[in-house]
Amino acid sequence: MLLRMELQSDPEMLCAVRGALAHLAERLGFPDEDCRAIVLAVDEALTNIIRHTYRGHTESPIQAEVRRITLDEDGLRGDALEIVLQDEGPAVDPEKLCGRALEDVRPGGLGLHFIRQSMDRVEFRRRNDRNQLRLVKLLRKKEPPKGS
């Protein structure tokens, strides 16, 4: 376990979580682009929990656990960062986790698209009366500077 955070569903905490994750991903050697992708995906996932699961209530619990793992699933192999978010809200309807067509230009509904585009694995399940979202990003090391 690299990091465990007990959070409240308050949008004001998002900035602190982004900072912690960006620092951690950078220290683990993720390229800058992947650091930004990880931060965006987790921020969007937390935003969805706050807005949709807890409907804007700011004092409900969210748990975040971050681990370094060795992934070997469905053809994806290698060192990876695993982030598991859990909330105690009502069960989420998996049908509503599909996102929307981007051709439809309107505000809202982009978060799930961002999460799926940013991570290598995105899995949702209901366990022990909790919603659990697992996000995994394979560690692709930074390219060494040219000429070195």
Partner 1 sequence: MQIVARHLDKITIFDISGDIDLATSPQLRKAVLREFKELRTPRVVLNLKTVRYIDSSGVASLVEALKASRDVGSRFVLFGLNTTVREVLQLSKLVKIFEIYENEDQAVAV
Pairwise CA distance, residues 64 & 78, whole Å: 22
Does 12 bind partner 1 (CB under 8 A)? Our answer is yes
- C-beta of 93 vs 104, nearer to partner 1: 104
Contact 63, 5 (CB under 8 A): yes
Contact 103, 56 (CB under 8 A): no
Smallest gap from residue 120 Cβ to partner 1 (A): 15
Pairwise CA distance, residues 121 & 138, whole Å: 9
Interacting span for partner 1 (CB under 8 A) from 70-78, 89-97, 112-120, 134-142: 112-120
- C-beta of 61 vs 99, nearer to partner 1: 99
Contact 111, 49 (CB under 8 A): no
Does 50 bind partner 1 (CB under 8 A)? Our answer is yes
Smallest gap from residue 87 Cβ to partner 1 (A): 15
Does 114 bind partner 1 (CB under 8 A)? Our answer is yes
Pairwise CA distance, residues 87 & 69, whole Å: 22
Does 14 bind partner 1 (CB under 8 A)? Our answer is yes
Does 20 bind partner 1 (CB under 8 A)? Our answer is no
The structure tokens 């230009």 sit at 105
Pairwise CA distance, residues 89 & 110, whole Å: 21
Interacting span for partner 1 (CB under 8 A) from 38-46, 69-77, 79-87, 129-137: 38-46
